């Protein structure tokens, strides 16, 4: 008997309570629905590297589902003035974003020659159509109504996106918290149409400036601001890695969904979700 086999026998003997009979009870695979999850990688080309392409995007969508779950809960807790719970959830969002960024590093192992062998088989399917990514943008305050048209063929999904589009986002909740904390925010701004793209406001900028100039007095609001900056910072890194991965694989070709590809991805790098939190870094 080899040392390895002897070690295995000793380990097995010491774990006599490990259950092996699951005829009448739930297993790990049952709980996670692995029968569905691990058979959802049906490609359209039969090319070896399409499995990589599918899994990277599916994993990203799972992470985005968790981001939306945490963001909505964080918004609810900020509205209830429970900032400590919100901080925990927003910190988790930042760590999830880091995981998605690592995914682009894996996808970048796909070479242009390999991708070209199955790219045409994708038709017009594109990550540009990710409805969860749009909902993350909506939750962070970036509202672009024209993208809703992409989802019109699925009425329940379209309705879900319209609801998210017209709902106050994370930054709206933070600004309302500033007002409840005694900061003077323009009343018409507090009542603004939240379906419009957020634009910088001077009263909000002044409020955050006061927070950063007296951190000890406004410690929780300062923490909230930095959690927001973390999320925007990570999201921009996510966008940058996306752009560079696309450039590495297809150069400046048009995207499968009809966008300008890399040029479009470069433009969105200039979008800000929480502009005043960046502007005050010059002011203070």
18 annotated as a binding-site residue: no
115 annotated as a binding-site residue: yes
Q: Taking a C-beta distance cutoff of 8 angstroms, is the pair 253, 112 a contact?
A: no
* 3-class SS string, 192-222: CCCCCCCCCCHHHHHHHHHHHHCCCCCHHHH
Q: How many C-alpha atoms does 150 have within 13 Å on its Cβ side?
A: 19
146 annotated as a binding-site residue: no
The two three-digit tokens of residue 173, written as one number: 């909740």
The single-letter DSSP state of residue 145 is G
**What region does 231 belong to: left with phi over 0, alpha with psi -120 to 50, or beta?**
alpha
- Closest residue by Cα to residue 115 from 52, 38, 40: 52
56 annotated as a binding-site residue: yes
119 annotated as a binding-site residue: yes
| Length of the chain, in residues | 284
Three-state DSSP state, 282: helix
53 annotated as a binding-site residue: yes
2 annotated as a binding-site residue: no
- Closest residue by Cα to residue 200 from 130, 273, 132, 259: 273
Total H helices, total E strands in the chain: 14, 0
Cα 39–Cα 64–Cα 37 angle in degrees, nearest 5: 10
Three-state DSSP state, 48: coil
Binding residues for substrate: 53-57, 115, 119, 256
Binding residues for heme: 242
Binding residues: 53-57, 115, 119, 242, 256
């Amino acid at each position: 008997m080899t040392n390895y086999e002897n070690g295995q026998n000793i380990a097995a003997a010491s774990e006599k309570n490990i259950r092996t009979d699951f005829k009448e009870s739930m297993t790990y695979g049952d709980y996670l629905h692995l029968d569905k999850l691990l058979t959802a990688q049906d490609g359209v080309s039969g090319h070896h590297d399409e499995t990589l392409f599918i899994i990277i995007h599916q994993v990203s969508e799972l992470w985005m589902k968790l981001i939306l779950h945490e963001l909505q809960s964080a918004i609810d807790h900020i509205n209830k003035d429970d900032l400590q719970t919100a901080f925990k959830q927003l910190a988790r969002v930042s760590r999830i974003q880091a995981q998605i960024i690592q995914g682009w590093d894996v996808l970048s192992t796909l070479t242009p020659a390999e991708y070209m062998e199955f790219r045409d088989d994708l038709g017009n399917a594109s990550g540009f159509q990710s409805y969860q990514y749009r909902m993350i943008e909506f939750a962070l305050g970036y509202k672009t109504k024209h993208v809703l048209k992409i989802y019109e063929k699925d009425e329940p999904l379209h309705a879900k996106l319209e609801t998210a589009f017209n709902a106050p986002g994370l930054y709206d909740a933070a600004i309302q918290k500033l007002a409840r904390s005694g900061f003077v925010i323009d009343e018409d701004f507090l009542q603004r149409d939240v379906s419009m793209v957020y634009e910088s406001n001077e009263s909000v900028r002044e409020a955050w400036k006061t927070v950063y100039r007296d951190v000890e007095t406004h410690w929780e609001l300062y923490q909230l601001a930095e959690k927001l900056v973390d999320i925007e910072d990570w999201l921009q890194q996510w966008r940058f890695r996306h752009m560079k991965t696309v450039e590495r694989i297809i150069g400046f070709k048009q995207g499968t969904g009809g966008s300008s590809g890399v040029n479009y991805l470069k433009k969105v790098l200039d979008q800000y979700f929480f502009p005043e939190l960046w502007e005050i870094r010059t002011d203070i």
